[in-house]
Structure 1
Amino acid sequence: LQKRDGELCPKEMFEGKQLAFIRARPKLMGTSKDPKFNFRRCGQSGIRISDLLPNLQTCADEMCFIRTLHTDQFNHAPAQMFMQTGFERFGRPSLGAWTNYGLGSMNKDLPGFVVMVTGQYPGAGNSIFGSGFLPSVYQGIEFRGKGDPVLFLSNPKGVDSAARKRVVDAVNKLNREQLQGVGDPEIATRISQYEMAYRMQSSVPELKDLTTESTKTLEAYGAKVGGSGFSNNCLLARRMVERGVRFVQLFDQGWDHHSGLQGSLPNKCKQVDQPIGALIKDLKERGLLDETLVVWSAEFGRTPMAQGTGRDHHKEAFTVWMAGGGVKPGHVHGRTDELGYGIADRPVHVNDFNATLLHLLGLDHEKLTYRSLGLDQRLTGVEEHHVVREVLA
C-alpha cells in the first residue's frame, strides 16, 4: 500500500462496492511519511503496532489481535447496532445485557452492566447498551462524567436519606401489590431498580472517589481527582471490576476521520494510549487480568483508499484486539490482502466474534437464549456462527 500510494485503486475495490461517501474511483492512500506513523515490531511476539501508541507497544505480549473481522454494515448507526447486538435493527439486547442475563450480578449495590461515554454520543443511541426483549433489569446503566454519575442520585434539598428510604419502601409496597395482581416482569424490574438506586447513594460515591488511589496510579492513567474523560473512565473501569461489576463498556467517539487524518489521528491516539496501556498493566499487577477480558473494537474499519485527506468506512476487513480473560497472548489471527482491503486468510464475522466473547465469558452462544416472539432468541441469531478457537489460550 505504501509503495502504491497515490495510484488509482483497482476497479474491483470500487465498482459495485458499498462505500459511505466515496463516489468517484479513488486513489490508494498509504500511511504518512512522517516517522511518527511508523509501525514497529514489539515485545517477544514481534507484533507490529504503530508508534502513535507507545504505551500499547509495551503491552504487545499481553494482546491478541484479530486482523480479519468483517461486518455486514457500512454506516455508523446500523454498524454499531450490528456490532453490539448482532443485528442492524433496533429492539435486540446488547452483548452487555446478554452477559448480565447469563451471568448475573456479583455486587448487589452496583449495576451488573455499566456504560461510560466520552465525546459525542454514539449514533445508534442507548440501544447499543439496551436490553431489547430481555427484562430491562439487564440493560446498561450509564454513568455520567460530570455531576451526579447517575441522575437524581443525590437527595433533593431538604430531604435526607431516611425520608427517601421511606418513599422507596412505600412505592415498592404498591409495586409488589401490582406485581402479585398482574405478574408483569417489568414491575419486578422497577422494584429492583428502586432498591438498587437507593443502595447506589452510598456505593457510587465511594466508587468514584479517586482520592483513595495513589499518585503513581493517577499519573499512570493520566486521571485526575474530580476530573472526567477517557483516562478517568479507564481507572473507574478497573475499580468497577474490583467491585464485581460484570460488564463495563467505554464508548469513545471522535475516530471518524473522513478528512484531516494526519492531524486528527495522532491526537486521538494520544488521548487513549496512556490510559489503555495503564489499564492492562494495572489489571495484571493486581492479579485481575487473567479473569478480566479487555476488548478494543470499532464498528468497522477504514478504507485503504483516500477520501480527500481521510479515509471512508470499510466493512470488508478490520482489526480488533483483546487482552486477558483466556485469550492467547502475543497472538495474531488472520491476515488481509497486500493492500489491506480484503481478507486473505481466516475471516471472522462479527457474530463469530460475539460467539467467541461469550465463550471467553463462560457462556455458550447457542444455549444462551431467551423466548421472544415465539422463538428462542440468541445474540448470534439463527445463522451458524463459530467460536474462533485459535485465539483461545
Structure 2
Amino acid sequence: MNHLHLTRRQLLGSLGLSVGAPALSSLLASESEAGQGLPHFPPKAKRVIYLMQSGGPSHVDLFDDKATLKKMQGEEVPESILQGLRQTTMTAGQKSKPCMAAAWNGSKRGDSGMWVSDLLPHTASVVDDLCFIRSMHGEQINHAPAMTQILTGHNLPGRPSIGAWLTYGLGTMAENLPSFVVMTSQDKQGSCGQLFFDYYWGAGFLPGKHQGVPFRSAGDPVLYLSNPKGISRKARRQMLDSLAEMNQMAHARFADPEIETRISQYEMAFQMQASVPELTDFSNEPQSVLDMYGPDVHRKGSYAYNCLMARRLAERGTRFIQLMHAGWDQHGNLPNQLPIQCQDTDQPSAALVKDLKAKGLLDDTLVIWGGEFGRTPYVQGDITNASAHGRDHHPRAFTIWMAGGGIKPGTIYGSSDEFAFHVAENPVHIRDLQATLMHLCGIDHERFTYRHQGLDFKLTGVEPARVVSEVLA
C-alpha cells in the first residue's frame, strides 16, 4: 500500500486490524447508512408500487379529450402552439402536423367527473380512489433520457434510482425478501417494446446493495435460486457462513462498502430460497381475487401476474416495487396497438388498487401509474391510413394517476391547454412528483442528500422542486 495515497477508508481499514471489526463497523456506520434522522416526519406511505408504462401512454386518447381537437380534426396545429419547440427526428421533418382527437369515445366517470376512455373500463370503475394529475411535464423527448430522469432525477445514467434512495434512507422491512424489486413485461404480441436498462433501477453511487432486484419472467424468478444437485440447504448455510467470515475479514482490512453489499446479498439470496417459492405460489389466493386480475394472471411475466406479485410483495414488506410494461410507443398503427396495451394493463392496474384496498394496505401504499411522457396531439404519419399513423413523444403535458399512501382520492389536479399540448394550469414537473413521493414516505427531499465526489446529491437535483400539497389527503 502506498501510504502517500491513503484514503479515509483505507486508514480506517488499517485501524480495524487493531481495534477490531465491531469498532470499525461503528466508525463506518454513518457512511453505510443515511444517518440523517430518517424519516424526517411520520410517513403516510410505508411502501411504493410504481406502475411504469414504458413508451408514453397517449394522454389525448385515454384521459384528456379536447373539443378543440375534434373541431379541428385534420387541420394544422397552429404555429402559436408549436412555438418552434424541439421535436424528435421522427416528426421534425414532417411538414404537416394535423390535429388528431381521441380516436375512442369516453365519458366523465365517478363523483370526480374524470374523463376516461372506453378503452379503460376497469380504471374508470375506480376513478374515485385515484388522483389524476393532468399537468405533468418534463424536457426530455426521447425514451431513455426521459425514463432515466423520471426514475433517477437526471437524464444521464449513473444516479441512484428512486427505489435505491428510499431503501438506503429508510432501510428494509422484510428479512427474507429484497427491499426493492423490479418486474418487467410487454404485450402478448411483443410490439413497440422499449429496452429496459438496468440503471433504471440501479444504485448509482449509493452502496450496491440498494439496487433493485429484477425478478425474471421465466424459470426461477432470480438466477441460481435453487441449490445445485447434491448441495443441501444445511451445506449451503455452512458454506455461506464460512464465506461471510472471510468477507468480514476483508472488510475489516479494506473497509470497502461493496464487501458489505456482497455479504448482505449472499445472505438475502439464501433467505430467498425459502421465501420466493411461497411468494410465487398463487394456490392460496381466492378465485375471486385471481379473476379480478384477469385471465393473464397465471401467465408468468405478464403484467397481470406482476401486479398480483406486487400486492404479495407489498404485504410481505418489500418497500419499493417497480413494474415496467413496454409497448406504449405507438408511432404507427395506433388504432390497433393502443387497445392491446389497454387490454393488457387496465384490468390488472385497477385490480391492484381494489386488492390493496380490500386488504387494508392501500392507506399506507402509494401506487403511481404513468409513463415517461405522453403523445403528441398531432398525427405522425398518414391519418387516413389506420395501419400507418400514430403519435410522437410529447413531454410538455401528460397525465398520470396516483392512489393510496396519503393521496387525496377522487381528485383531478392541473390541466393542459385546448390542444392538450402545453400545461394550462397547476404545472407539475417530474421533480415535483419525486419530491411529493419522498414527502409521502416521510422524507424532506431537500434535506436527504448523499455526499459523492465532494458534492451533496439529492434525488430532485439542484433545480426547484416542490411537494404538490394540493393532492395530499
* TM-score tier after normalising by the smaller chain length: over 0.9
Q: Secondary structure at the match of 1:200?
A: helix
- Distance 1:226-1:319 versus aligned 2 partners, 3 A rule: closer
Does residue 306 (structure 1) correspond to residue 374 (structure 2)? The answer is no
Say which SS state the counterpart of residue 356 (structure 1) adopts: helix
Q: Distance between the aligned counterparts of 1:173 and 1:18, measured in 2?
A: 56
Q: 1:189-268 alignment to 2 at 5 Å?
A: 189-222=261-294, 223-225=296-298, 227-268=300-341
Pairing 1:154–2:223 present = no
Residue of structure 1 equivalent to 2:353: 280
C-alpha displacement at 1:15, in angstroms?
A: 5.5
User: Structure 1 CA distance, aligned partners of 2:166 and 2:70?
Assistant: 42
Over 2 Å off, 4+ runs: 12-16, 119-124, 223-228
Deviation readout 1:6-27 (Å, 9 max, x if unpaired): 0011123445322111022311
Aligned to 2:459, the other structure's residue is in SS state coil
Question: Do the aligned residues in 1 keep the contact of 2:299 with 2:305 (CA within 8 Å)?
Answer: no
Of 207-216 and 6-15, more deviation after overlay is shown by 6-15
CA distance in 1, matches of 2:444, 2:162: 13
Match of 2:122 in 1: 55
Asked if the contact 1:97–1:138 (Cα under 8 Å) also holds between the matched residues in 2, the reply is: yes
**Partner in structure 1 of residue 7 of structure 2:** none
How far did 1:158 drift? Answer: 2.1
The equivalent residue for 2:79 is 11
Q: Distance between the aligned counterparts of 2:156 and 2:194, measured in 1?
A: 15
The aligned residue for residue 148 of structure 2 is 81
Superimposed CA distance per residue, residues 34-61 of structure 1 (whole angstroms, 9 cap, x where no aligned partner): xxx2121111111111111111111010
The Cα offsets for residues 189-238 of structure 1, whole Å up to 9 and x where unpaired, read as: 11000011001100111111111111111111125446331101000100
Q: How many residues align?
A: 389
Separation in 1, partners of 2:286, 2:132: 32
Which entry has the higher C-alpha Rg, 1 or 2? 2
Counterparts of 1:139 and 1:238 in 2: how far apart (Å)? 20
Q: Which residue of 195, 199, 204 corresponds with 1:123?
A: 195
Structure 1 residue runs without a partner (length 5+):
none
| Counterpart residue identity of residue 7, structure 1 | E
RMSD: 1.3
- Paired with 1:344 and 1:284, the residues of 2 have a C-alpha distance of 33
Greater Cα shift, 189-198 or 18-27: 18-27
**What is the match of residue 31 of structure 1?**
102
Q: Is the 8 A contact 2:153 2:461 kept in 1?
A: yes
CA distance, structure 2, for counterparts of residue 226 and residue 68 of structure 1? 35
Residue identity opposite 2:262 in structure 1: R
Q: State the 1:70 CA deviation.
A: 0.7
Find the aligned partners of 2:73 and 2:169 in 1 and give their Cα distance. 48
1:171 aligns with 2:171: no
Out of 397, 404, 416, the residue aligned to residue 324 of structure 1 is 404
Unaligned runs of 5+ in 2: 1-68, 382-388
Q: Secondary structure at the match of 1:117?
A: strand
Instruction: Report the AA paired with residue 10 of structure 1.
Output: P
Structure 2 CA distance for aligned equivalents of residues 122 and 162 of structure 1: 42
Does 2:417 align with 1:337? yes
Higher relative contact order (CA 8 A, sep 6+): 2
| CA-CA distance at 1:71 after TM superposition | 0.8
- 1:41 and 2:108 correspond: yes
Whole-Å separation in 2 of the counterparts to 1:304 and 1:198: 51
Answering whether residue 460 of structure 2 is matched by residue 380 of structure 1, we say: yes
Does the 8 A contact of 1:301 with 1:319 survive in 2?
yes
In structure 2, the residue matched to 1:90 is 157
Specify which of 170, 187, 203 is matched with residue 103 of structure 1.
170
Q: CA deviation at 1:30?
A: 1.1
Q: Is the 8 A contact 1:255 1:268 kept in 2?
A: yes
Deviates more, 1:38-47 or 1:161-170: 161-170
Deviations 1:234-275 (A, max 9, x none): 001000110010010100000000011111111110111111
Contact persistence 1:122–1:251 (CA under 8 A): no
Q: Which residue of 1 aligns with 2:362?
A: 289
Give the residue type in structure 2 aligned to 1:55.
Answer: H
Helix, strand or coil at the partner of 1:304: coil
Distance in 2, matches of 1:124 and 1:198, equals: 27
* Contact 2:135–2:428 (Cα < 8 Å) also in 1: yes
Give me the TM-score of the superposition, normalised by structure 1.
0.96
Task: Say if 1:328 and 1:224 are closer, same or farther in 2 by CA, change over 3 A.
Answer: closer
Alignment check: 8 A CA contact 2:160 2:204 kept: yes
Tell me the secondary structure at the aligned position of residue 311 of structure 2. Answer: helix
Aligned partner of 1:346 in structure 2 is 426
How far off is 1:107 after superposition?
Answer: 0.6
Deviations 1:315-372 (A, max 9, x none): 1111111011111111111111001001111111110110011111111101111111
Please say if residues 240 and 267 of structure 2, whose CA atoms lie closer than 8 Å, have aligned partners that are also in contact: yes
Q: Distance in 1 between matches of 2:231 and 2:287?
A: 36
Classify the secondary structure of the residue corresponding to 1:187. helix
AA at the equivalent of 2:102:
T
